[in-house]
Every structure is written in structure tokens, then in C-alpha cells.
Amino acid sequence: MTEIPEEWLEKAILDGHINFLDYNKFTEPVVIGVGGFGKVFKYEWKDTELSVALKCLRVDKNIDDKTIKNFINELKLLRKVSNHQNIIAFYGVTKDDSGYYNLILQYADNGTLREYLEANIIKLQWADKLRIAKEIGLGLLFLHDHNIIHRDLHSKNILIHQGIPKLTDFGLSKQINETSMTSNSIIHGMPAYIEPQCLIKQG
Ligand SMILES: Nc1ncnc2c1ncn2[C@@H]1O[C@H](COP(=O)(O)OP(=O)(O)OP(=O)(O)O)[C@@H](O)[C@H]1O
């Protein structure tokens, strides 16, 4: 049966599978980035004193089904794995004043790994770099233990919060099961980070 992504989301909220939070719980929006789904804002979450990142799915007439599917895919996978220290925390969804759904994510205060390395390259010791590499590995291991492959891992999809790496951006990720193991040969992700073997096999 074909699943209509937005209907799936509404049903999951209604059935209590996804935490839905009132948009008025979030204050002081600041734009922090723009991604495939739309703008990303930093907000302060009243009641918790946490900063959060709201990732908006801007559904206008130009949006394609693939973008909505990636958004829902990210949400489904985050639900399963976001309780690991090296994966961005996922708190639920909200609907903004324009009626758009937003993912509510932990705010990473040091930005992306790429930005963090650029800003701290002189200060960082080998021990820090090794710890970061090890923690990225732990995040990946946790994904793989849940049969999830990220498929778009690069330095802009790893965020740093208080010096700790957090894997993010699961839009292209995939839950592996027996049927999908053999059937998918499409290449995804940022070209510079794609495993060379994948390109050879395509040739
Ligand atoms: N949780 C977060 N904490 C801090 N900054 C974030 C967070 N999520 C996203 N950002 C910022 O917003 C930018 C865009 O994020 P997003 O994940 O939507 O897009 P992307 O990875 O650039 O694009 P795409 O979704 O198309 O792969 C990031 O590069 C980062 O700078």
C-alpha cells in the first residue's frame, strides 16, 4: 500500500508515536542555516531552558514528493536512534504559525564539524581529534546496530555540541532489511565522500 508521507505523520502524532509540541513553547528564533527542506532556526524552548534547532518542512507547490519523503524518513529513523550521545537528540515535531511541520532537534552550539575544525584547528590536540573520530565511530556503530546506514556522512552532517560530535541529517539514510539489501544500486550523497567502489560498480 502506498504511504502518503504527510498523512503518515499526522497519524503517528494522533496515535502518540511522535511527540507533538505547541509552537508557542518556542521563542527567540534565529536563522542558523538552510538545508534541503528549508530554513533551520535556533529557538529557546520555554519550560526546559534548552536551545533547540527547528528544521522546517516548507510545503509549497514547488516541493517535490522526494523532499517530503526524505523529511519523514529522517523523522522515522531519528525516533529509533536519537537517544545515543553521538547522535543528535530528537524531541518531536511542532507546527509553526504558517502551518509547516518542523522537526525539533537538539541545538549544537559549535556548529558543523567542518566549522568546528576551521575555528579550532590550532587549538585542537591529537588527543581531541582522536576522541572526536572515536565518538563518530560510536555513533555509526549504534546506527549499524539498528540496521541503519547513513549514506550521506560528511563533515557538514556531523554537528558539534560542547565539543562532542553528533551525527545528523538522516534524510537519505536507510533501514536495511533483507529485501533492500539486494535491490538498491542508486548512489546517494555528496560526491567527494562517496566510496570509490560505488562509482566503479556503476561504470
Ligand atoms: N541541530 C542543529 N544545531 C545547530 N545547527 C544546525 C542544526 N541542524 C542544522 N544546523 C545548521 O543548519 C544547516 C542546514 O542543516 P540541514 O541539516 O537542514 O541541511 P544540510 O545538511 O545542509 O542539507 P540537506 O538537508 O539538504 O542535506 C547545517 O549546515 C547547520 O549549519
Q: Domain extents for the chain? A: 2-106, 113-199
Identify the pLDDT of residue 179.
47
Identify the pLDDT of residue 183.
46
Q: Which of 31, 32, 166 has most ligand 1 atoms within 8 Å of CB, for mutation?
A: 32
pLDDT tens digit sequence for 153-187: 999 999 999 999 999 988 777 777 644 554 455 66
Is 88 a pocket residue for ligand 1 (Cβ < 6 Å)?
yes
Identify the pLDDT of residue 60.
66
Regarding predicted confidence, which is higher, 97 or 188?
A: 97
Identify the pLDDT of residue 203.
53
CA of 201 to the centre of ligand 1 (A): 31
pLDDT tens digit sequence for 78-104: 888 999 999 999 999 999 999 888 999
| Catalytic annotation, residues | 152
Contact (CB, 8 A) for 186 and 201: no
d(CA 89, CA 108): 10
Q: Where are the alpha helices (DSSP H) in 104-125?
A: 113-120
Model confidence, pTM: 0.85
Residue 9 banded pLDDT, cuts 50, 70, 90? confident
Topology of the domain covering 2-106? Phosphorylase Kinase; domain 1 (3.30.200)
Phi, psi of 8 (to 5 degrees): -60, -45
Is 35 a pocket residue for ligand 1 (Cβ < 6 Å)?
yes
Contact (CB, 8 A) for 126 and 120: no
Domain covering 113-199 in this structure, CATH number = 1.10.510.10
d(CA 158, CA 202): 27
Contact (CB, 8 A) for 53 and 107: yes
Is 33 a pocket residue for ligand 1 (Cβ < 6 Å)?
yes
The reply to whether domains 2-106 and 113-199 share a CATH topology is no
Q: Which of 30, 90, 169, 190 has most ligand 1 atoms within 8 Å of CB, for mutation?
A: 169
CA of 184 to the centre of ligand 1 (A): 26
Contact (CB, 8 A) for 48 and 101: no
